Amino acid sequence: MNDFQKLCPKVQKTFDIIGKRWNGLIIYVLMSGPKRFSEIHTSIPSLSKRMLTERMKELEDEGIVIRHVIPERPVRIEYILTKKGTELGSILGPVSQWANEWL
């Protein structure tokens, strides 16, 4: 198996993650720091709560987001990018610059 054949599934998986509707925006929003569910939802108002819940679970399963429970009264939950998520998010800055210039 050549290097291209080894690389292709990894590259495809990356595009599947950031290309899935809303994932790129969620990661982009979390790049500025930990956010509560309501803060993420407010930042992306056209994203339904049901879909946000689904996407957050998927991103958590991929190891991109951590769901952090803060034991206060009432219990508070924040979502934080992992190192893997932060590195993935760092490529979204240039995408945003491209979008601002060309779209």
Whether 5 shows a pLDDT value over 70: the answer reads no
CA pair distance 31, 49, nearest whole angstrom: 20
* pLDDT value at residue 51: 98
Looking at the chain, the whole-number percentage of residues with pLDDT higher than 90 is 75
pLDDT tens-digit map of 56-90: 999 999 999 999 999 989 899 999 999 999 999 99
**How many angstroms separate the first and last alpha carbons of the chain?**
39
Domain ranges (residues) in the chain: 3-102
CATH fold label, 3-102? Arc Repressor Mutant, subunit A (1.10.10)
Beta partners for 78?
36, 68
Beta strand residue intervals within 1-103, DSSP E: 35-36, 65-70, 76-81
* Token pair 């934080």 in the structure block, residue: 80
